[in-house]
Amino acid sequence: MLVHPNNPLGDVYSPQLLTDLMGVCARHEVHFISDEIYALSIFTDEDEPSSRPPFHSVLSLPHPDPERTHVLWGLSKDFGLAGLRVGVVVSRCAELMACLRAVAIYKCTPHLVHHASAALLSDIAWCDDFYLRLNSERLGRTYRRARGRLEAMGARVREARAGLFVWFSIRDFMETDSAEEEMEIHAQLMRAGVYVVPGSKLYGADPGWIRLIFSVGEEELDEGLKRIESVLKKRRKKTA
């Protein structure tokens, strides 16, 4: 199971890496599932042009084992339409599709929602030429805004290429390298009126990482960052 683009890191994987991973799965007869829920939420960092590859869906690459290769997508992230409850599974596995069709009898998406989703995706002038382009520009702008403010506070920010979030380290504001202190800082941020996700809840390898969603209006983003800064300033004095 691969989350591509990655949540919470915002990474985009190269076609070569994807091909190599599919090759490993094919040799060992393991199913390869690519969750591409953020596939259309790609942006570029204009301040630091990245050498990282652009996004390539698994669907655009050769499949060494087509029967065991599956791709997931939905409207909830790229279009902010979680309430429509539309999910997509792309697979050539006849057995899997037969099972999904059987389950869909009881878990199907309403026909009106099907129609609305098809109309939205079929409107190339609005969807491709307007919405996706504007969404990418705005995500890139707010990402750079959030990243700049966090780095000015003294936080270390991981470069991202996609998604709605930024992954940053608060280890320089911690006295101990522990998940307990990470959760203590999370509680302080909550009391300051900011909801973020601590890295330990996202299975981070090391304590002291936080995921911040930046896909909001600039005024709201600035207020959230201001509250984060108020907490980190106090932590800076304490750790100093």
Dump pLDDT digits (tens) for 194-208: 999 999 999 999 999
Instruction: Specify the pairing of strand 156-157 against strand 209-213.
Output: unpaired
Same domain assignment for residues 33 and 72: yes
Same domain assignment for residues 70 and 142: no
Q: What is the pLDDT of residues 126-155, one digit of tens each?
A: 999 999 999 999 999 999 999 999 999 999
Rounded to an integer, the average pLDDT of 110-134 is: 94
C-alpha to C-alpha distance for 130 and 96, rounded to whole angstroms: 36
| Domain that includes residue 37, residue range | 2-124
Rounded to an integer, the average pLDDT of 54-76 is: 96
Query: What is the pLDDT, as a whole number, of residue 202?
Result: 93
Same domain assignment for residues 133 and 235: yes
**Beta carbons within 8 Å of 229's beta carbon, 6+ residues apart:** 149, 153
pLDDT range class, residue 105, cuts 50, 70, 90: confident
Same domain assignment for residues 110 and 23: yes
Q: Would you say residue 80 has pLDDT above 60?
A: yes
218-239 and 179-191 are packed helices; what angle lies between their axes, rounded to 10 degrees? 130
Same domain assignment for residues 23 and 37: yes
Same domain assignment for residues 95 and 55: yes
Query: What is the pLDDT, as a whole number, of residue 49?
Result: 54
Quote the pTM value: 0.89
Q: What CATH number corresponds to the domain at position 134?
A: 3.90.1150.10
Which of 72, 49, 45, 80 lies closest to 215, judged by CA?
80
C-alpha to C-alpha distance for 30 and 76, rounded to whole angstroms: 28
Domain limit, last residue, from 95, 124, 153: 124
Same domain assignment for residues 217 and 147: yes
Rounded to an integer, the average pLDDT of 198-226 is: 95
C-alpha to C-alpha distance for 25 and 58, rounded to whole angstroms: 14
Same domain assignment for residues 113 and 225: no
In angstroms, the Cα distances linking 189 to 51, 84, 173, 225, 227 are 34, 31, 13, 10, 8
Burial class for 37, CB neighbours closer than 10 Å (0-12, 13-18, 19+): buried
C-alpha to C-alpha distance for 68 and 198, rounded to whole angstroms: 34
Query: What is the pLDDT, as a whole number, of residue 106?
Result: 86
C-alpha to C-alpha distance for 100 and 103, rounded to whole angstroms: 5
